[in-house]
Chains A and B, each alone.
Chain A
Amino acid sequence: MSVSSAGNRWDLFWMLTRTEFRLRDQGTLAGFLWTLLHPLFIFSILYALFTRWMAPLVPNYAACLLIGIVQWNFFSTATTAGMTSLRRKAGLIASFSFPRGYVVSSSIAAVLLSHLLEWAVLLAALLVLGVRPGWSWLLLPALIAVEVALALGIASVLSVLAVDVRDLDHVWGLLLYGFFFLTPVFYTAEVVGEGARRLIAVNPLAVVIDATRAAVIGGAFRASPSIWLVAAGAGLFCAASVGLFDRMSRGISERL
């Protein structure tokens, strides 16, 4: 195919994204509601389990938990969808010549569309929970962009590895499971011990979630060194991973 012009490249990327989004969510409101049900279900369980211990320690625990779950859900779904994207689109890759990176990035973009819709619902829910909107909410797109860069960087490398190592899905699933507990999704860094806090401090996703909570609930433009460091690191990591993907994905059609 000819994807020589920028317009054609955008059309291809948007078509792949839209198709993936529609096939995931059936392209309907009911389909989207089904995808909302998953984070809501997790929220209900975690809230019921931990509110007794967390609520006295964490102000507005329900809002904190909701933000943690939505952020985590994006990271987990995007990396998994991106990792399996090349295998899922094997037929397309074997039949058409186009930049292979579009397959991974469009998978992440499709999850991002759902994520943005989840945020719209989440912000409405936060208002109900008594959170006051502020200028710091304008930081949200930048914080989401950092998370997208992290997810795209990880998925770019995993997607090529998953072509040659067919059971990588299981390994990644296990790693995600462990990573969930090391990330302050249902707790905050302030309520854990010093040792755990040091672990959390080097977890980039934890820093993003913490900064998001501060911006949305605390109404603070928290420009702590960690978030700037994570933002710069995520950008560099993403660029390096996409470069690595270009090298590793050579000859991918014959390995699929």
Chain B
Amino acid sequence: MSGAALEVRGLGKLFHHTLPRYRTMVGRLRRWADGGPSGLPVWALKDVSFEVARGECLGVMGPNGSGKSTLLALIAGILEPTEGAIRARGRVNTLLNLGAGLQQELSVRDNVEIFGILTGLSRRRALELTPRILDFAGVEPLAEVRMAELSSGQAARVAFSTAMHSDLDLLLVDETLSVGDSQFQAKCEGEFQRLRREGRTLIVVSHDEPALRAVATRILRLESGRVAGEPERIAAEAVSRG
């Protein structure tokens, strides 16, 4: 085995999409009695292999339904592979859905604590870091208001800032670059550069090719669940411009 931060070998994921009518008690009994299919089989990923070196930022692109988010969920351990193997070294952290884990009825300060613990911080550490996280997100004056009072961009900043302060070796980011204003996007890119300089590894999924090219050292393209060609290497100067 190499010393890569992440190795993915022959990865495949088969989903069985269940029909809505089978999701009730009578529906399940009917399916059982008819001996009907367990669901529509769809390979979201098939035979995907690649490696990511420590300190690298791998960008993942592809059209809708190409398997990008499934790939991140598999690496994060949220989904289980149908075939193949994933070997990640160190602590894996995720920023897959900026809204998940945020509680609209609780205060922004409480949400930093909740999101911090979900991203692997101890409660004590999350509380210690809260002022810094709020400051970084630019929402310090709003710390005590309900999360629901924040705009979607501000809420995204809270989640992103908290994740950036968590302990991690490998960060998986899904579509964060398309959230928030240009100032926030620039902040994201700056943070990704910092993480790389610190030797952390990133995998970033985005539809925004220019933004991805500004942060990624290589770009992997997925099409219909398969890797399309060799990952494209991005020139170092193009990355540092970001």
Contacts and interface: CB of A to CB of B under 8 A. Distances in A.
Contacts, number: 92
B101 A96 contact: yes
A73 interface: no
Given A1-B119, A7-B122, A15-B114, A166 B94 contact: no
Given A2-B93, A171-B25, A95 B100 contact: yes
Interface string B106-126: 100000011001111011000
B89 interface: no
A175 to B, nearest CB: 12
Given A19-B114, A253-B78, A14 B123 contact: yes
A14 B100 CA distance: 18
> How big is chain B's contact interface, by range?
20 to 34
Interface string B71-102: 00100111110000000000111101101110
B151 interface: no
A96 B115 CA distance: 10
Contacts of A11: 117, 122-123
> How big is chain A's contact interface, by range?
20 to 34
A98 B119 CA distance: 10
Contacts of A44: none
Contacts of A1: 92-94, 118-120
Nearest to A8: B122
Nearest to B105: A23
B28 interface: yes
Nearest to A250: B80
Given A8-B122, A91-B97, A96-B101, A164 B78 contact: no
Contacts of B96: 94-95
The interface centre, meaning the residue of A1, A98, A164, A171 with most chain B CB atoms within 10 A of its CB, is A1
Overall SS of chain B's interface = loop
Interface in B14-34: 15, 18, 23-25, 28
Nearest to A3: B120
Nearest to A93: B78
Given A1-B93, A2-B91, A91-B101, A96 B118 contact: yes
B51 interface: no
B103 interface: yes
B91 A22 contact: no
A42 to B, nearest CB: 27
B73 A94 contact: yes
Contacts of B23: 164-166
A122 interface: no
Contacts of A15: 113-114, 117-118, 123
A237 B238 CA distance: 60
A240 to B, nearest CB: 23
Contacts of B94: 1, 95-97
A2 B25 CA distance: 37
Given A2-B91, A166-B24, A92 B118 contact: yes
A251 interface: yes
Nearest to A253: B78
Contacts of B7: none
A194 interface: no
Contact of A8 (B25, B105, B120): B120
Nearest to A15: B117
9 contacts: A1-B94, A8-B117, A15-B118, A15-B123, A26-B105, A92-B118, A94-B73, A96-B100, A164-B28
Sorted nearest first, the 6 A-B pairs with minimum C-beta distance are A95-B100, A2-B120, A97-B77, A11-B123, A91-B100, A2-B91
